[in-house]
């Protein structure tokens, strides 16, 4: 079974292919990160999956239904957390969550959801009085009040300070632990590495790589850089066998000061992938 299955997805605007033959398989309960630069087709792809944009070609199944024709019962099974939301500024947190609960046939308990996203102490505060991080927590509360099987998260921590980002990550981990499937779009590579079970990189309307954060683009088998401070200054070497190289360097009894062994970071791999696709 798959929560999301896409085959040959295309979306064209005139002669411009915004999405050009995308295939995806996302199992239930997985956190899947879709990465890509602005204009790569990421937002268009997600909006098609949400049922907010029509496609030109291809097959799309989300929770077993075609988003282009699915009805209200299907929509009650998904949650959407947009990048920006400025509605209901005069309502309190509790009023907002209870209001949204009324849209769903079998919503979660509003007080429990408010507690789940860490806003119990702000339940009586007006939305306009919330900090950026608190507002994003409310956005998630509104996205999960219907007890969705699948949640779309669009750039969820843009503008967060480091502490707020990590608190939000814990919230996402808790949702995933409960079995919720999550499709995440983000420009933060550390966020994808921390949260995602699998990632895909889209560039030029095409998926150019897919895998776990550790293996994306051959990252786990890429050459390692061995760096150290020698008597004549800093040195570094690229190698497929870093352990053998370190053993060779240390065989003569030389001290290898500040020795490090590194492979390409997810950011290094991502930049190489999107650069090669342009």
pLDDT 10s digits, 227-259: 888 877 888 888 878 888 888 878 767 677 888
If asked whether residues 195 and 96 sit together in one domain, one would say: no
Domains of the chain: total: 3
CATH, residue 180: 3.40.50.300
Same domain? For 249 and 158 the reply is: no
Q: What pLDDT does residue 220 have?
A: 73
pLDDT given for residue 77 in this prediction: 95
Judge contact between 32 and 184, C-beta under 8 A.
yes
136 plus 243 within the same structural domain: no
The encoded tokens of residue 137 equal: 């927590």
Do both 153 and 73 map to the same domain? Answer: yes
Nearest Cα residue to 89 out of 40, 128, 31: 128
pLDDT of residue 265: 83
> How far from 33 is each of 53, 105, 217, CA to CA, in Å?
20, 29, 15
Q: Do residue 48 and residue 165 come from a single domain?
A: yes
Residues 142 and 153 in one domain: no
pLDDT value of position 136: 85
Residue 172 to residue 278: CA distance in whole angstroms: 32
How high is the mean pLDDT in each 10-residue block of the chain (278 residues)?
A: 94 94 96 94 95 96 96 93 73 94 93 91 93 86 93 86 84 90 93 95 94 86 82 82 82 78 84 74
- As beta bridge partners, residue 225 has 238, 262
Q: What is the pLDDT of residue 151?
A: 96
Q: Are residues 184 and 63 in the same domain?
A: yes
- Answer for the pair 151, 181: CB distance below 8 angstroms, yes or no: yes
Q: Residue 88's domain spans which residues?
A: 83-147
- CA-to-CA distance for 173 and 194, rounded, in angstroms? 9
> Strands 198-203 and 224-230, how do they pair?
unpaired
* pLDDT on residue 276: 56
What is the structure's pLDDT at 277?
Answer: 52
pLDDT of residue 84: 64
Residues 140 and 183 in one domain: no
Q: Which three-class secondary structure string do you get for 36-99? A: CCCCCCHHHHHHHHHCCCCCCEEEEEECCECCCCCCHHHHCCEEEECCCCCCCCCCEHHHHHHH
Structural contact between residues 31 and 176, judged by C-beta atoms closer than 8 angstroms: yes
């Amino acid at each position: 079974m798959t929560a999301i299955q896409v085959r040959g997805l295309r979306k064209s605007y005139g002669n411009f292919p915004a999405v050009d033959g995308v295939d995806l398989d996302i199992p239930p309960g997985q956190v899947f990160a879709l990465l890509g630069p602005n204009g790569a087709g990421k937002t268009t792809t997600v909006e098609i999956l949400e049922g907010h944009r029509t496609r030109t070609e291809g097959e799309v199944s989300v929770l077993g239904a075609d988003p282009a024709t699915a009805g209200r019962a299907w929509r009650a099974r998904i949650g959407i957390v947009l990048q920006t939301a400025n509605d209901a500024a005069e309502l309190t947190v509790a009023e907002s969550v209870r209001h949204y609960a009324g849209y769903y046939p079998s919503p979660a308990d509003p007080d429990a959801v408010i507690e789940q996203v860490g806003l119990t102490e702000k339940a009586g505060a007006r939305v306009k009085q919330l900090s950026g991080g608190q507002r994003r927590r409310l956005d998630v509360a509104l996205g999960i009040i219907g007890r969705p099987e699948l949640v779309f998260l669009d750039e969820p921590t843009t503008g967060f300070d480091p502490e707020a980002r990590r608190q939000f990550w814990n919230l996402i981990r808790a949702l995933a632990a409960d079995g919720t499937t999550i499709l995440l779009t983000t420009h933060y590579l550390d966020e994808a590495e921390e949260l995602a079970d699998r990632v895909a990189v889209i560039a030029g309307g095409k998926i150019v790589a897919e895998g776990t954060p550790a293996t994306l683009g051959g990252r786990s088998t890429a050459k390692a850089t061995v760096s150290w401070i020698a008597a004549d200054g800093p040195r570094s070497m690229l190698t497929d066998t870093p352990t053998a190289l370190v053993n060779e360097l240390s065989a003569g009894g030389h001290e290898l000061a500040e020795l490090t062994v590194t492979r390409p970071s997810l950011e290094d791999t991502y930049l190489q992938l999107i650069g090669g696709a342009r």
